[in-house]
Structure 1
Amino acid sequence: MPSLLTIPREIRDEIYTWGLLIPFSPVPPQRIRISTEKVRKVLNLGFTDVTVEEILPRHPSQEDIGYVWSEESVRYPLSAPLPPTHHLLSACSQIRTELKEAIRRMGDGKLRYKIDLALRNDKFVLYPTWVSIPMLSKHVDELEVTLRILHGRTKSVCSVFSVHEEEQEGSLLNGGLACLIRFVERGVHFLSKKKREGFTVGLLVIDVHAPGIARADLDKDMEETAASLEKWMQGTESDALGEMAREMEDTQIRLLARKIESLRLSTYGRIVGEWDMKEMIRMRDELARN
């Protein structure tokens, strides 16, 4: 009886390649908003755009998935399916080895995760959707984030709002940070109850696409954003924040620096800036001492 191991290796490699090309999210995921710092529990239900307070009274049995500061603007997918290669990776050691080799080949020697982060800038709402996860791993060489800004130009690509602003106005920076923190703490299923210890990312790439903005305007905006982002990471603009916001910001940046080696900002593939996260923390500490 023929099996996967009895057919020629070239054909097996072709199977692996097609398996890796299967879309990770073939259908639009159901989404939910995690709201308020007071309530830290949410159900794994298929509600869309519903606050925790609305479902809490009707469902007393809930999982504690925590709350990340300023994540009201994110609409999380309720679940993340397993990678298409998951069962093959569990088959036997030979297939697992061959499939890992195929994954590295397709990624130019690297393990890459890809996620689409759509911004509704009329409401400042973020919709993260996984595009490619070749295999589950504790270390990802590159996390590629395509940030798509929809419905015209925003006030700024890197918008920052007071914590007292209305929730629907949100914050691209703080909402994106909350989404990123959930990923490095809990993995591809942002709402996982169990945190993933020891998870790291080599390079975080944020590539901005804004079809409604002229390229010259976008390039100028991105240069300004890169400068603001560098100051934010170094802590040179923290004096404008209140004490609570300053402490939250510092905690978030240090958490990400422990998990992520470097950050690259680009627009349509053109690199605008790249930073070593440990160097940013060193400069942040130096500024604090002075």
Structure 2
Amino acid sequence: MSRYLYSIVRCLPDPRTGEFVNFGAIAGNPDTGDWSIRQISKVDRIRKFAGTQVLEAAASFLFEVDAEIDQSRSGLEEGLDPLGENWLHDMHRNHRNVVQLSIPGPILADSAEEALEIVFAHLIIDPIAEPRERPVTKYDLNRELRQAYRQAHVAESFVRPRAQIHIGAHVHSSIDFAVANGRTVQLTQAWSFRRAQLDEVSQQVKAWAYAMERLRGGEEARVVDTQNRISTIAHDVDLQVVIATPTTPEQLAAYDEAEQVFAGLNADVHPLEHVEAVGRRAAQLISNLHQQ
């Protein structure tokens, strides 16, 4: 378990009296950026107690927070810093009107959704609330990938995150991890199909696949990492894909289409639960490279 923070969101029809009713909660890990929110499912009691305008203000606040969390998740995929502890403390200090937040407190959990489950079970009355499936982000996948390389004892100097592949004169694509040291032995890309924006994932897979098809076709290519180190790459380079497996019919449909793309590229596909296989394969390829 890890240290998470939580804060309860409250509605106050008259802030001067201090009377409030709980509306929802925010919880997250300031180190990893795993944040989430939850609103109570039954709002009639809040409307009767606080009024429609206060209820709408609280709903609007949580909507804005949710949008900020989504934006931060996208930033994490680009290597930006996560929303930290000060983010939640600042919201607690700055919202002192009809919407207020409790003082942020620590809680032990394995995920933001689990932290919210604990908060709702013990601090917020919402009898018909049901657990929601936690979305899996690219940041989650890449974090586990990096750990898989470490567990397989792949030297940090070989692991090149967020590298760029330049193919021919005009085509280039980003790759989540390239395992390279002058010569590229493995490319790894992570895709989450356990998320809401499935159209976006499908478009990204197709754009990535176009570049990989050009590489597989034998066009001259090179890998450039974030420190501008250049490594050669062969058309038959080991290609690995790690996915967050789909669970809903919509997610399954999106994955079925992507699965055909992965097969056409001769990529090995692993669910997140078996990510350690990618690290072991990289270690084997590096060992073979040293023996040549």
- Do Structure 1 and Structure 2 share a fold, with TM-score over 0.5? no
- TM-score normalised by the chain length of structure 1: 0.28
- TM-score normalised by the chain length of structure 2: 0.27
Higher CA-based Rg: 2
